[in-house]
Amino acid sequence: MAVGLPENVFMTTVNAAASWCRKNSLWPMPFATACCGIELMATASSRYDLARFGAEVMRFSPRQCDLMIVAGRVVMKMMPVLQRIWLQMPEPKWCISMGACACTGWVFDTYAVVQGVDRFIPVDLYVPGCPPRPEQLLRGLIELQDKIMKTGTLNGTEFGKRTVAEGPPTMEFEEIRRSQESQLLTQADEK
């Protein structure tokens, strides 16, 4: 004979419990380099209240963060810094690319501006707009929470697919400088 559970007992899996805890306690690492950063600040303010989603603990300490939010355009010189901060963040970690500049480079189609941060670090969620409004970032956060709940596993197997970003691997500053110089030389030769 089947025995029903009492009303005050519920069952779940360890994976689901871990994902639930993780999605409701995201600690953002703000990497705000331009105007989108102001919208990010507004999102954390009392009017929009990021704290409602458990993600208000912004700390400039990568080792305590698990959500990178890249807000604004990133220039090539900043990319090694961004990569280093990303690598310093412990797993499990996620990344939101906020705004057209971070996602694609936007109107700054120059050799000095990174044409999409996903060429260098893995991005889980893109928030479009110039700038995206705080509501859009909140929507993005909710989508990310859904993703964590759907795909999260205790041992992080979901990250196996994205350990390598689509673009070039971590570059040292010298490599970037050399590649920029060679680009400039090529352009000068063509003229």
* Interacting residues with ligand SF4 (CB under 6 A): 34-36, 72-73, 99-101, 106, 130-131
Residue among 33 and 145 whose Cβ is closer to ligand SF4 = 33
Q: How far is the CB of 19 from ligand SF4 (least distance, A)?
A: 30
Residue among 53 and 106 whose Cβ is closer to ligand SF4 = 106
Of 41, 47, 34, which is closest to residue 78 (Cα–Cα)?
Answer: 34
Residue among 22 and 73 whose Cβ is closer to ligand SF4 = 73
Identity of the residue numbered 60: F
Q: How many residues does the chain have?
A: 191
Q: How far is the CB of 106 from ligand SF4 (least distance, A)?
A: 5
Distance CA 99, CA 129 (A): 5
Q: How far is the CB of 119 from ligand SF4 (least distance, A)?
A: 17
Beta strand extents in the chain (DSSP E only): 28-32, 67-71, 94-98, 125-127
Q: How far is the CB of 107 from ligand SF4 (least distance, A)?
A: 7
Residue among 85 and 117 whose Cβ is closer to ligand SF4 = 117
Taking the CB of residue 46, how many other CB atoms lie within 10 A of it?
6
Residue among 34 and 41 whose Cβ is closer to ligand SF4 = 34
Q: How far is the CB of 44 from ligand SF4 (least distance, A)?
A: 16
Distance CA 89, CA 12 (A): 29
Residues β-bridged to residue 94: 67
